[in-house]
Each structure stands twice: as structure tokens, then as C-alpha cells.
Amino acid sequence: MTQFPKWIVDEVRLNKAGLRASAAAATAADLAGNGLHTVCDEARCPNKGKCFAEGEATFLILGDICTRRCGFCAVKKAAPLPADPGEPLRVAGLCRKWGLKHAVFTSPTRDDLPDGGAAHFAETGLLIKQLSPGIRTEPLIPDFSGDIKALETVLTSEPDVLAHNIEMVSGLYPGARAGADYGRSLRVISNSKKLRPDILTKSGIMLGLGEKPHELSRALGDLAASGCDLLTLGQYLAPSKAHRPVEKYYTEDEFALWGEKAGEAGFKAVLSGPLVRSSYRAGALYLKAVRS
């Protein structure tokens, strides 16, 4: 395994220090008090301290258990619990309490549900907008097993951004994304654009899983050709020794270079950096796109 670089250790330590701030403690208390999960916790995001200290979090709806077994992900794998019918309103209430301007919410993959959880996504988005007029919503959805009706259901909630991550280059899917399909993920983006061309689309790619430069270039081209507007590029960090190992740690200069290449590929806005995650600075990325 490639040696863990000191600069990442220092940055993660800095972010963890943010968890001791009073604002971060208040954010965590609000989440716990409402029985809500965040991808910040479940995916062990290195930015959690920074975001919590600023009153930001990416809500994880539909529970904290995934029905798939991706080799890179820290979200629990087991038999999931039924959807909580009161969850959308609690998420919306916390968005209002925090005064959010841009709300991101995602979920584990729920292949056990007939619609993959699409109706739950739609209700969450509608209630957030109802309780906080003027807020922007960004559902980060699973692939719904390619069900276009499920995608249509989410789009009825009038999100400002429809996000779905391809996560990695196509050649890595067989070994790292059990149950997923590269082409199907691209179709989530392209179908969203066909159904609602007025809604921005977004995706994210993790670097360091073993991709080759030509494979990454192809993935950028595939996403752009599918109508993807916004893109995030970040360093893969293995959640534990039991997860897929890191094959390479990219430097900040390399992230800047790939960010430039993504811009040249046609994306409206790109956020590229070692600790960038798919929902990191989501509101700022959206504004960059609409103002460009």
C-alpha cells in the first residue's frame, strides 16, 4: 500500500479538532435529538469537523444500512430497517432550524424497496422547500437499479441539483462496486437531463483506487457527454484495513491539473482537491455554475 502522506494526516487532524468546537457539538446534538443520520458520520468523512462547526451536514435518509457491498464504502451492510415515515419532516425541520440555503441529502442503496426509496427522496425534498421557502435542494441518489420512473418521482420534487456519483472509472467496477453498473450510472445523469434539462446534474469521482490517466480522461468525457453539469474529484481514503486499499495518493498539483482537464471537458463547475467529497461546498459549486 502507498504510504499515507503527512499532509493528509495533518489535514484530517485539523478537521477532527473542529469537532470539539461548540457549533459542531450543537450540530451533532441536533442530529441525535432528531434521530437523524449523516453521511458525514456513516462514511467517516474527513471534513466532518469543519462542516459540523459551520452548521452543515449531508443528511443520510432511509437509514444507515446499505443493501450493496462496495469495497470502498464504510456504510454498514446488513438487512435494512423499513423506511421511517417521519424522517422527511424531521430533516426539513432541521434545515429550517439551521437556516440552510442549500440542503444535500443522500441515502444508502435500498434495493429492498420497490422504488428504491424514490418516494422518500421526493417527500424529503418537497418538505424541505415547504418549510424553508427559497432553499435549494440537492438529492444525491442511488441508481434505483435503472428504474426511470423512480428517477421521475425524485424530479417531481423540483430539486435544484440532481446528483448521482459514478464514483470511479469503469474498469474498477467489477472488483469494487458489487451490484452497480457504470453505464447505468451514466444513464441516471443522461435521463435526468432528458426529463428535466432545466435541473443541473452532478457527479463525483474518487481518485486513488488504481485508475489509469486514460481511464480517468474517458470517465470525464463520458460524464460530460451524458449531460453532467457539476463534478467533484477527491482522494479515496480507505475507511479501514478491511476496505479496498489506496493505490495512489494524488498531490494537490495533480488535483488542480485534473480539475482543469474536467473544465476543458465541458463541465460548468468543478471542485477538485484531496479532501473534496461529493457534497462538500455544494452550495458554492452550484452558484459557480449558475453565475458562469
pLDDT score at 42:
41
Q: What does the pLDDT read at residue 49? A: 44
Contact between residue 162 and residue 154 where contact means Cβ atoms under 8 Å apart: yes
The reported pLDDT for the residue numbered 249 is 93
- The mean pLDDT values, 10 residues at a time, for the chain of 292 residues are 61 56 73 82 47 62 78 65 95 93 92 96 98 96 97 98 97 87 97 98 96 98 98 88 87 96 97 90 94 83
What's the pLDDT score for residue 3?
A: 57
Ranges of each domain in the chain = 6-291
For residue 52, the model assigns a pLDDT of 45
Give dist(CA 189, CA 200) in Å, integer.
10
Q: At what angle do helices 252-265 and 213-225 cross, to 10 degrees?
A: 40
Nearest one of 27, 125, 113, 104 to 62, comparing CA atoms: 113
Query: Is the Cβ–Cβ distance between 57 and 45 less than 8 Å?
Result: no
Q: Is the pTM of this model over 0.85?
A: yes
- HSE (side-chain half, CA atoms, 13 Å) at 225: 8
Tell me how far apart the alpha carbons of residues 163 and 230 are, in angstroms, rounded to a whole number: 9
Is the domain 6-291 a CATH 3.40.50.300 member? no
